[in-house]
């Protein structure tokens, strides 16, 4: 039997102040269930590891000498955990009172739910579109190029972001953001951990796709609320993050969507996707950078 019902895993890179606030919110929630907290510090230079070690001794610190990335850090924590289920959590989140209790109770009552996401709010209290439909080329065209500026209220972007409903009801969704993602043990046992080929970005979409492919449901539970400040780590290396995002999108496309194309045309489909993603990346590097990250183009 596991020592805990849940292992909360946090991967942090140079986000000391945000991480402190996140851990304080988890400390306040200790009475909401049997859970442990594992912090993976990815070679931060801002004293994050010392802060966790000195101020939060009840939590587990795995301090790294190199940056393992979002995926590598969380996979290390998942494999080191003593809890049954897993909750991925960004270091720039604040867990609201009752959220942990609500999500643990939901997963207990709904064994068909393999992955569960709470409602995420921006720091100003507005809704963050943290559950979405799976990516498709048309939505990407409108969301990530100048076409979207010409038609800001187009239906393709709205459908991708699931803006066609108020996000106030529990429901099945394609995928939920890895900024706050609860994963049942059976999902990890069946489909594995996060795909290590993604340094960061799209690993959450990929895991949800694999969960659906193996018969698990992905659910959105807005009764549990977490505040998420987008991009506190990625803002520090915007150019590299933009490149990594587009590489990850290409990998997801090749891994999950190209196989739906008639096989003689698959090489052309891959080449076309690579060209389109490279073009978009160049445009972002030239013009948008941090603004694109903060607007949630890159969802975490």
In a domain, 146, yes or no: no
The pLDDT score that the predictor gives to residue 198 is 80
Q: Give strand pairing partners of 227.
A: 94, 121
Domain containing residue 240 = 235-294
The pLDDT score that the predictor gives to residue 245 is 64
Helix (H, G, I), strand (E, B) or coil at 9: strand
How does DSSP classify residue 163? T
The pLDDT score that the predictor gives to residue 235 is 44
The pLDDT score that the predictor gives to residue 149 is 60
Residue 181 sits in the same domain as residue 288? no
Residue 239 has pLDDT above 70, yes or no: no
Confidence of residue 231 (pLDDT cuts 50, 70, 90): low
Rounded to whole angstroms, how far apart are CA atoms 228 and 226? 6
In a domain, 138, yes or no: no
How does DSSP classify residue 284? I
- What is the mean predicted confidence (pLDDT) over 70-84? 96
Which of 190, 213, 232 is where one domain is finished? 232
Rounded to whole angstroms, how far apart are CA atoms 33 and 105? 9
Which of 232, 249, 281 is where one domain is finished? 232
SS3 content of the chain, % helix, strand, coil (to 5): 45, 20, 30
Rounded to whole angstroms, how far apart are CA atoms 226 and 116? 13
In a domain, 155, yes or no: no
Rounded to whole angstroms, how far apart are CA atoms 62 and 72? 12
CB of 10 closer than 8 Å to CB of 87: no
Residue 43 sits in the same domain as residue 116? yes
- What is the mean predicted confidence (pLDDT) over 231-247? 52
State the distance between the two ends of the chain, measured CA to CA, in whole angstroms: 33
CB of 193 closer than 8 Å to CB of 76: no
How many Å is the Cα radius of gyration of the chain?
A: 19
Number of folded domains that form the chain = 2
The pLDDT score that the predictor gives to residue 297 is 44
Helix (H, G, I), strand (E, B) or coil at 19: helix
Residue 152 has pLDDT above 50, yes or no: yes
Average pLDDT across the chain, whole number: 82
In a domain, 139, yes or no: no
Its pTM stands at 0.79
Considering only residues 261 and 82, tell me which one the structure prediction assigns the higher pLDDT. Answer: 82
CA distances in angstroms from 102 to 183, 220, 221, 227, 246, listed in the order given: 14, 12, 9, 15, 35
CB of 241 closer than 8 Å to CB of 135: no
Which of 232, 251, 285 is where one domain is finished? 232
Residue 186 sits in the same domain as residue 76? yes
Residue 224 sits in the same domain as residue 244? no
Rounded to whole angstroms, how far apart are CA atoms 99 and 221? 10
Confidence of residue 246 (pLDDT cuts 50, 70, 90): low
Residue 232 has pLDDT above 60, yes or no: no
In a domain, 147, yes or no: no
Residue 269 has pLDDT above 50, yes or no: no
Residue 219 sits in the same domain as residue 247? no
The pLDDT score that the predictor gives to residue 237 is 43
The pLDDT score that the predictor gives to residue 37 is 98
The pLDDT score that the predictor gives to residue 54 is 98
Residue 280 has pLDDT above 80, yes or no: no
């Amino acid at each position: 039997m596991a020592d805990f019902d849940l292992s909360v895993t946090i991967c942090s890179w140079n986000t000391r102040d945000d991480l402190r606030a996140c851990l304080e919110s988890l400390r306040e929630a200790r009475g909401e269930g049997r859970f442990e907290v594992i912090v993976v510090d990815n070679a931060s230079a801002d004293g994050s590891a010392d802060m966790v070690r000195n101020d939060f001794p009840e939590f587990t610190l795995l301090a790294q000498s190199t940056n393992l990335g979002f995926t590598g850090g969380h996979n290390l924590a998942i494999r080191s955990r003593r809890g049954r289920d897993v909750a991925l959590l960004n270091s720039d989140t604040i867990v609201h009172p009752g959220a942990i209790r609500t999500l643990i109770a939901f997963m207990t009552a709904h064994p068909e739910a393999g992955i569960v996401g709470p409602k995420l709010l921006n720091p100003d209290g507005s809704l963050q579109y943290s559950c979405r439909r799976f990516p498709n080329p048309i939505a990407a065209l409108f969301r990530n190029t100048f076409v979207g500026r010409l038609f800001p209220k187009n239906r393709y972007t709205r459908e991708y972001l699931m803006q066609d409903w108020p996000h106030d009801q529990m429901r099945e969704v394609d995928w939920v953001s890895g900024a706050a993602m609860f994963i049942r043990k059976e999902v990890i046992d069946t489909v594995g951990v996060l795909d290590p080929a993604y340094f960061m970005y799209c690993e959450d979409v990929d895991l949800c796709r694999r969960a659906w492919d193996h018969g698990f449901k992905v659910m959105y539970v807005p009764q549990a609320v977490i505040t998420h400040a987008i991009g506190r780590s990625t803002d520090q290396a915007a150019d590299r993050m933009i490149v990594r995002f587009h590489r990850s999108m290409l990998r997801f496309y090749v891994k999950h969507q190209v196989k739906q194309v008639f096989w003689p045309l698959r090489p052309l489909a891959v080449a076309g996707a690579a060209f389109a993603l490279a073009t978009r990346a160049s445009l972002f590097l030239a013009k948008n950078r941090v603004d694109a990250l903060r607007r949630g183009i890159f969802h975490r």
